[in-house]
Structure 1
Amino acid sequence: MFANPYIKSVLWLLSLGGAGYGLMLLTEPSQEKIERIKASVPGASLTADQEKKALFMKKLQEAATTSTPIYRQAPNKKDD
């Protein structure tokens, strides 16, 4: 019975999928842990590199939501 490769494949699929699902449930952080992590990370004091990354991610998100290509968008000017 276990000599059939299809049965072996299904059994391996089920066992590894079940193990993965179990690990996912086991390592899921609680709401308290998430709140503690959010409280410990300073949001206002970003370094210059982090600001650049945040601006880049914002531009990527804007480009993903509009139909205009990113190379055609007008540059955002900062008000100093």
Structure 2
Amino acid sequence: MASNPYVKSVLWLVGFGGIGYGLMLLTEPSAEKIERIKASGSPGQYNADDKKKALFMQKLQEAATSSTPIYRQAANTDKKDN
């Protein structure tokens, strides 16, 4: 029975799935650890590169919620300013 490849596959699947689940539970951070991490990263400590990344992510978010393409949004905002 152990020579059957389907049985072996199921046993390996269960074994690795169990190991993965155990590691997931073992490495899950607690709520207080998450709060400490959030508190240590205040917005005043961001450098110019982090601000550029945040601005880029904001532009992507706006593009995702808008129906116009991102290459047209910049042209539309320039026309509105003039």
TM-score, L = length of structure 2: 0.84
* RMSD (Å), alpha carbons: 1.6
Aligned length: 77
Aligned to 1:3: 3
Q: Runs ≥4 in structure 1, deviation > 2 angstroms?
A: 74-77
| Identity, % of aligned positions | 71
Structure 2 gaps, min length 5: none
Higher helix share: 2
Map of 2:49 onto structure 1? 49
CA distance in 1, matches of 2:67, 2:19: 42
Counterpart CA distance in 1 for 2:17 and 2:67 is 39
Q: Which residue of 2 aligns with 1:64?
A: 64
Compute the TM-score of the two structures, normalised by the length of structure 1: 0.86
